[in-house]
Structure 1
Amino acid sequence: MRDEPIELTAALAGFDQLWSPRIVTRVNDYDVRLVKVAGDHVWHTHDHTDEFFLVLDGELRIALRDGADEREVVLPRGAVFVVPRGVEHRPSSAEGASILMFEPSGTSSVGDRHETVPDHVDATTGHAL
């Protein structure tokens, strides 16, 4: 862990890969991750943890499914949202967005249960910045 401040704008400028989170620091047993997104992620579920999203730039949409019911939340820049554990969801961004996330260290970016992962999505527990 670094003992100097981390400039998020500079950290985001350091990578281009989409749907490929970078771990910028840790807080207790949680990763603080930055991720650039565009297009659709995969439908997935985290069985044991909530998922926190903070939109730093752009707009993020999160489709949520509970059985046959489906809805979508729209997060503009500066908005936060928590997907509760066990809720199937699919983040997407038509124009692209930069997101900050808090997740327990080792949490997979495609959850515990997911649809087939396409080539444009990095199934990872996060990459070092």
Structure 2
Amino acid sequence: MTTIIRSKDFTASRPWGALDIACMQGISTRLHWTDKAYHWHVNDGEEVFVVLDGQVEMKYRDANGETSTLLSCGDIFFASTGTEHCAHPVGEARILVIEKHGSV
């Protein structure tokens, strides 16, 4: 089976609504749409967060304290296991998230 997804056309009925694209060997790939911030959280595995459309202010905490960076279209954020983080879109955003299946 082949699937083409036009990420710019994807919207959801609620913030952080997702389209499940694939689950390969326990790793999920999901397309999210949002216009609201996600809460502070820690995943139980690694996470790759790719901004496909819009901008997202990514806040994260590590040994150096709290940091914030603005991610634009094409930017990638990698959170290692145990990294506390919180995503705040600037308006609408579409994000590809690759993480352990069933993770937060």
TM-score, length-scaled by structure 1:
0.71
Larger fraction in strand: 2
**CA offsets, 1:47-94, max 9 Å, x none?**
x31111111100011101126711112110011110111111111112
What is the Cα deviation at residue 10 of structure 1? 7.6
Q: Count residues in correspondence.
A: 104
For 2:70 and 2:8, how far apart are their aligned partners in 1?
26
What amino acid is aligned across from residue 98 of structure 1 in structure 2? Answer: R
Equivalent residue number for residue 30 of structure 1? 27
Equivalent residue number for residue 18 of structure 2? 21
Kindly tell me: are residues 32 and 8 of structure 1, through their superposed partners in 2, closer, same or farther at Cα, counting changes over 3 Å? Answer: farther
Matches of residues 47-86 of structure 1 in structure 2 within 5 Å?
A: 48-66=44-62, 69-86=65-82
For 1:74 and 1:10, how far apart are their aligned partners in 2?
20
Kindly tell me: are residues 11 and 84 of structure 1, through their superposed partners in 2, closer, same or farther at Cα, counting changes over 3 Å? Answer: same
CA contact (8 A) 1:6 1:24 kept: no
CA contact (8 A) 1:66 1:87 kept: yes
Kindly tell me: are residues 44 and 23 of structure 1, through their superposed partners in 2, closer, same or farther at Cα, counting changes over 3 Å? Answer: same
What RMSD in Å do the two structures reach over aligned CA positions?
Answer: 2.0
CA contact (8 A) 2:8 2:94 kept: no
CA contact (8 A) 2:8 2:53 kept: no
What is the Cα deviation at residue 28 of structure 1? 2.3
What is the Cα deviation at residue 9 of structure 1? 3.1
- Listed as ranges, the gaps of 5+ residues in structure 2 are none
- Listed as ranges, the gaps of 5+ residues in structure 1 are 109-129
For 1:55 and 1:10, how far apart are their aligned partners in 2?
11
